[in-house]
Each structure stands twice: as C-alpha cells, then as structure tokens.
Amino acid sequence: MGEIYLDNSSTTMVCREAADKVMELMTNNYGNPSSLHTKGFYAEQELSAARQEIATLLGVQQEEIYFTSGGTESNNLAIFGAAHAMRRRGNHIVTTMIEHPSVINVMNQLEKEGFTVTYLKPDGSGNIQPEQVFRAVTPHTILVSMMCVNNEVGTLLPLEAVPAAIAAAKSPALFHVDAVQAFGKMPVKPGRLKVDLMSMSAHKIHGPKGVGALYLRKGVHLVPRTYGGGQEKNIRPGTESAPLIAGFGAAVRALPEPGAQLQEMARLSAYCRQRLTEIGGVTLNSPDGALPYIVNFSAGGVKAETMLHYLSAKEIYVSSGSACSKGKASHVLTAMGLPRERIASSLRLSFSRYNTFEDVDRLIDAINEGLSSLTKKP
C-alpha cells in the first residue's frame, strides 16, 4: 500500500525542485562562490538567489540573511553571539523550559560562564502566558530567546509579548526566535514581530539537510563562533556549501503560499484529531490552537517505542518526540506536568503538504490494531 511518512518535524522528503538544484550545483555549476572566474561568479549568483528567496518570504533585506549548517548552528550562533556581545550591559537571559535542545543546552553552558537564565514554565497545555514574559524581563536582561512553534506539541509561543516586555522594563535585550518549525509553514515576519535574530532550517521544508539560515537584523552585532576567510561577512566564515544553499532556495521557491497551506493543514489536523479522540485510551497532548502541522497524543498503556515500531513495521512512520532526544523522556511534556505514564506512551505526528486524509485513516486503523494486540490483557 506504500509508506506513510508522518515525521516531518524531524525531517522532510527533499522536493524534486531542491534535489535537481543540488545536483546541478554538484555536477555543473560547481565553482567556489569566492572564486573570481566565471564558475565562481555563477555559483555566487546561486547563493544570492537563494538568499533573496528567503529574504522575500520573511519580508527582510537580502543582506540580513546568513547561511549556516542548519537550525542547531543558527541557534548556537545567535545565542552565544548575542550573549557575548551584550555581556557588558547585563548578564540575564530569558527563555522557556520547552525550547529545542540546541537552545536549552546553550543556556546551560552560558550559566556555567556566569550568565543568569530564567526558564519560563508552560502550563498543562504547553502554553507560555504573556504575563510570564513581562514578569521575567528586567533592566538587566540582555537576551530573550523563544521558539515560535514548539517542535513536540505545536504550541505557538507569545512572541508579540517579548518586545513589549523589553520596552516596559527599559531593557537593552535582543530578541531571538527559533523559527525552525514555523518557517515556510506559517507567515513569519521578523519586522512585524520586532525580532533581532531568527533561526531557520532547510530540511524541515523539503530542502536538503546540512543547511540553514540566520536572520540578523541590520545593525545588530554578534560575536562570531568561528573565524576564517571572511565569507558571510565574517559572521559564519568558511567556504559556502553552494549546492545545499541553492537547494534551500529552490525549496523555498517551491513552497505553497504559507497562509493557504496552513488552512489545508488545519483541515487535515482537525480530521486527525477527531479520529484520534474516537479511539479509547488515546489522549491528545497538543492543545487547541497548536500549529496544525503537529499533533501529539498518548496511546493508552502502550509504550511509545513499542507502538512506534509496530507502526513502522506497517510502513507508517511517526516519532516519540524530538529526533534530537533519541528516545529520552520528553522534557517538553515533563515541563507541562503530564503524568509519567502519559509521557511514556506519547507519540508525535507531523504533517507535510504531501500527506492526505487517506494517510490519517490508515494510521487510525493501525493504532487501533496496535492497541488491541499490544495492550496487556488482565
């Protein structure tokens, strides 16, 4: 019957447009973008085109986009770079308990370096309230880092509250957003949100792995993490991976209009959530209002890994949380205060534009069969 891939928050299938562009730059237009000859010039043109595609989608200037190796490097570069650039003005940072490990672990390291970090705790639905942000930001806060969309349960965080809280506290803080799960899936405009730094990744939107981008608002200073030949205006030097960057640009160009696609995903997600609630013993962990690309649920008394492998044997691919956690108990669901048994049986579905209602029906049938055969009989 064919495979059903529902783990798109971990990674996506590369679209044909991106794959073709990567191959083109590997086998034909393979020059070094820094070279002064014609091959180098053509490669540099591809970089500029990709940079412009991303800038246009975000509504920002092309020169505000810097290429990296992915979301993890973008987050590290943004947070370390901002904290070290701003440390003369304070040492307090605000983030949340439900960030991606590439943010949480950076914060842990900054604490070892003498910075003070406030971690905002979500409620039982995974939401952070605006008033929490206002209480946390002080005149000594130099950075607020908050994801746009939680990668495990899909909650939308209150980004609009951050600039207001910074202004109210008369804080010098910079504002960083991890938009890895939002970019290309919903309208995200750094200018409207008053964001200083924003992280993105290609392989979440049907682009190649190994490439990402950082939006750096013009005028904001970062301390770089690496030093080299001056590429990316010394923010992230090193020979650019032109094939991957061009593939990233092609994936952005191939995206459906985010607002219209979001409506399609909302219909698919609503159908999936309704079908899941019809199964006895299944509890939804993603709240109403979550990004419809992500649905997190707990499947009765069956451990997540057991159900995951059962579904995988039927060529239905889901996840048991963030791919970066490698099977560890979800720190997101733990922070939400969910019972241990519910966390242990939690699974995440994450959709792409290639998924269908028929995919959901097959998934529901398989979960029903799995619960029937895997649940211990009294």
Question: Which amino acids are annotated catalytic?
Answer: 324
Q: How is residue 41 written in tokens?
A: 């010039």
Identify whether the C-beta of residue 60 lies closer than 8 Å to the C-beta of residue 84: no
**Tokens 């159900």, residue located:** 307
**Tokens 């998934």, residue located:** 363
The H-or-E segment that residue 19 falls in is helix 16-27
Of 324, 284, 298, 301, which Cα lies nearest the Cα of 75? Answer: 324
DSSP 329: P
State which amino acid sits at residue 68: T
Beta bridge pairs of residue 65:
215
78/147 Cα distance (integer angstroms): 13
User: Mapping DSSP to helix (H, G, I), strand (E, B) and coil, where does residue 88 land?
Assistant: helix
Identify whether the C-beta of residue 203 lies closer than 8 Å to the C-beta of residue 70: yes
Q: How is residue 283 written in tokens?
A: 């509890």
Of 175, 139, 171, 183, which Cα lies nearest the Cα of 159? Answer: 175
Identify whether the C-beta of residue 20 lies closer than 8 Å to the C-beta of residue 247: no
Identify whether the C-beta of residue 198 lies closer than 8 Å to the C-beta of residue 214: yes
Burial class (CB in 10 A: 0-12, 13-18, 19+), 142: buried
